[in-house]
Amino acid sequence: MHLYETLADDLSWLICAGVYPPGARLPSVRHISRQRGVSVSTSVRAYHELERRGVIEAAPRSGYFVVGPRRSALPSVPEHGASPVPVAGAHRILQLLAAADDPRTVSFGAATPHPDYMPSAAMAAASRTVWRRARRRCMNQAFPPGAVELRTELARRLAMAGCRLDPDDLLITNGCQEAMAIALKMLCRPGDVVAVEAPTYYGLLEVLEQQQLRALPIPSDPSQGLALDPLEQAFRTREVRACVVTPVASNPLGVTLSDERKQALVALAERHAVPIVEDDTYGELVETGRRPTPLKAWDRAGRVYYCGSATKTICAGLRIGWLAMPGRYRQQAAMAQYLRTISVNTPAQLTLAHYLATGHIDRHMRAAARAYRQCVARLIAELEQHFPAGTKISAPQGGFLVWAELPGTVDTGALLAESLRCGVSFAPGALFAPNGGFENCMRLNAAVAWDQAAQSALQNLGGLVRDRLG
Ligand SMILES: Cc1ncc(COP(=O)(O)O)c(C=O)c1O
C-alpha cells in the first residue's frame, strides 16, 4: 500500500468515527503533512484519493470538507420465528474455494486476509529455527492434546484476556473449524437442535450438516449482535443442545457483543444449562486498545467451550486452532481429535509456539487490527460509490468482513456466476443461513491487496448489480 493510501485510509476512518463530522473542514494539506511527517505531494494525493472515493470535496480557495455522513444504512435485522431446520448445501462453497485459488480472480469471497497483512517473514524465521533446534520432534507426531509448548503459550495469551486456563485444558486442532466440530460432537447427537446466529458463518453450517444436527437461527442485530430475548425464549421452549456464537467481530456482520451482553449470555447459558460453543476466531482483531474479553472469562460453571484459531491473525496456511473445554472432557476431546485426523502437523504447532514466545505478536496484532479497520473503511467507501443507492452496509466493529444488503430482489447466488466470469468473487448471502433468506446479501473480504485491479473489480461488480436492478 502506498503512503498516500495509508493516510487516506486514516482520514477516512476519522471521518467514519465522527472526528471530522459532515461539513467539517479537514486540516490543510501543509498542516497534515507536518503533522504526519509526509511530503505535501503525499497529502495532496491522499486528499485526491478521498475525493475520488466521494468522502470529501474541495471548495475553491477554502480547503477540503467532509461530504456527508455514512450514506448507507445498516442491514436489516432478520425476522425471528424460525423453527429448527436440517442443514444442507455445503457443496455450494466449492465454487468459492476454486475462485480463492485462481490468480485471475480478485477474491472478495474467501475470508482470508492477503498474506501481506500477516507476519510472513517472522513465521519463516520461526519455522527455520524450529527445524534447526527440534528436528527430531518435527519428524514425529505431536499427538492430542498437542505440543505442550504451544498449549502453554496459548494459555499465557488467554490469561491476558481474562481466561484462567491450564495448558492441559487446551486441545490443539486443525483450525477453529475442527475445534467447533469436536465440541459439537461431544455435546450433540444426530437430530439435536443447535442455536446459531442469523446470519452465521457458513463453515459452522457445514459442521452441522456433517453431524446431521438441526440449526435454530436466532437473529443477530448488525449493531448489537445476537438477540438474547429470542435465545432465552428458545432455551425455555425447546430442547436446545448447544448454542454457537461468535461474540467478537462476528462473521459475516462484524458485530461485537458488549461486555454486559456477553455476561448476560453466559448467565443465560448457566440458568438453562445449555452449553455455549464460543467461536473467538476474530477476537484479537479489534482496534479498541484493549483485547475484548471472551465469554470464557466469565464462565464459572464450565458451560463455555472456547474455540480459537491462528488462521485470520497469524498464518492461514498453518491450519492451527484450539479448543478449551471444561476439564472433565479433556480425554474425550483428545480422543475425538485423534479419531478425526490422528494429530495436528507438528512443525506447524512448534512454529506457532516459537512465534508466540518471541513476543512480537502484540505489535503485529495492533498493526493488523489497524490495517483491517482501514481496509474496511476503504471497502465501505467503494461500495457506497459503486453500488446502487439503497444498498445497506454493515459497520463492522472488528475483523475485515463487510456485509452488504442489496436493494430490490437481486439474487446474489445467480449474480456470483456472472461475477466470477468477470474475475470477481464474493460470498453470496444464502450461504449464511440454513433455511433460505439473505439471498439479496453478500459478504466481502476487505483485507485484499488494494490495487487498481481491486478498485476496478468493485466498480464492475457494482455495474453488474445495477444491470440486474434494471
Ligand atoms: C467465524 C469463523 N469461525 C471459524 C472459521 C474457521 O476457522 P479456521 O480456518 O481456523 O478453521 C472461520 C473462517 O472463515 C470463521 O470466519
Atom of ligand 1 nearest to the CA of 251: 1
User: Strand runs (DSSP E) across 235-303, as ranges?
Assistant: 240-245, 276-279
Numbered ranges of CATH 1.10.10.10 in the chain:
3-66
Report whether pLDDT(374) > 70. Answer: yes
> Is the CATH number 3.40.640.10 carried by domain 120-361?
yes
C-alpha R_g of the chain: 23
Which residue of 200, 253, 281 sits with most ligand 1 atoms within 8 Å of its CB, as the best mutation to test the pocket?
281
Measure the CA–CA gap between 369 and 357, rounded to whole angstroms: 20
Atom of ligand 1 nearest to the CA of 246: 1
> Is the CATH number 1.10.10.10 carried by domain 3-66?
yes
Q: What separation in Å is there between the alpha carbon of 281 and the centre of ligand 1?
A: 6
Q: Comparing C-alpha atoms, which of 373, 88, 332, 55 is closest to residue 210?
A: 88
CATH of domain 85-116+367-469: 3.90.1150.10
Give Cβ neighbours of residue 28 (< 8 Å, ≥ 6 apart).
63
| pLDDT given at position 436 | 80
| pLDDT given at position 72 | 83
pLDDT digits (tens, 9 = 90+) for 287-344: 877 899 999 999 999 999 999 999 999 999 999 999 998 888 899 999 999 999 999 9
| pLDDT given at position 439 | 93
Around Cβ 239, how many Cβ atoms within 10 Å?
10
pLDDT digits (tens, 9 = 90+) for 29-71: 999 999 999 999 999 999 988 887 778 887 766 788 887 666 7
pLDDT digits (tens, 9 = 90+) for 232-290: 999 999 999 999 999 999 999 999 999 999 999 999 999 999 999 999 999 999 987 78
Strands 193-198, 240-245: pairing is parallel
Contact between residue 185 and residue 325 where contact means Cβ atoms under 8 Å apart? no
Measure the CA–CA gap between 419 and 422, rounded to whole angstroms: 5
Element (H, E) at 159: helix 148-160
Measure the CA–CA gap between 69 and 393, rounded to whole angstroms: 13
Q: Comparing C-alpha atoms, which of 446, 414, 461 is closest to residue 312?
A: 446
Which residue of 246, 251, 285, 372 sits with most ligand 1 atoms within 8 Å of its CB, as the best mutation to test the pocket?
251
With cell 516459537, the residue in question is 354
Report whether pLDDT(104) > 80. Answer: yes
Dig out the grid coordinates for 351 from the structure.
512454529
Q: What separation in Å is there between the alpha carbon of 320 and the centre of ligand 1?
A: 11
Dig out the grid coordinates for 100 from the structure.
480463492
Coil, helix or strand at residue 307:
strand
Atom of ligand 1 nearest to the CA of 174: 11
Contact between residue 396 and residue 249 where contact means Cβ atoms under 8 Å apart? yes
Residues with CB under 6 A from ligand 1: 111, 175-177, 201, 203, 246, 251, 279, 281, 309, 311, 321
Question: What is the DSSP track for 404-427?
Answer: EE-STT--HHHHHHHHHHTTEE-E
Numbered ranges of CATH 3.90.1150.10 in the chain:
85-116+367-469
| pLDDT given at position 69 | 60
Atom of ligand 1 nearest to the CA of 320: 10
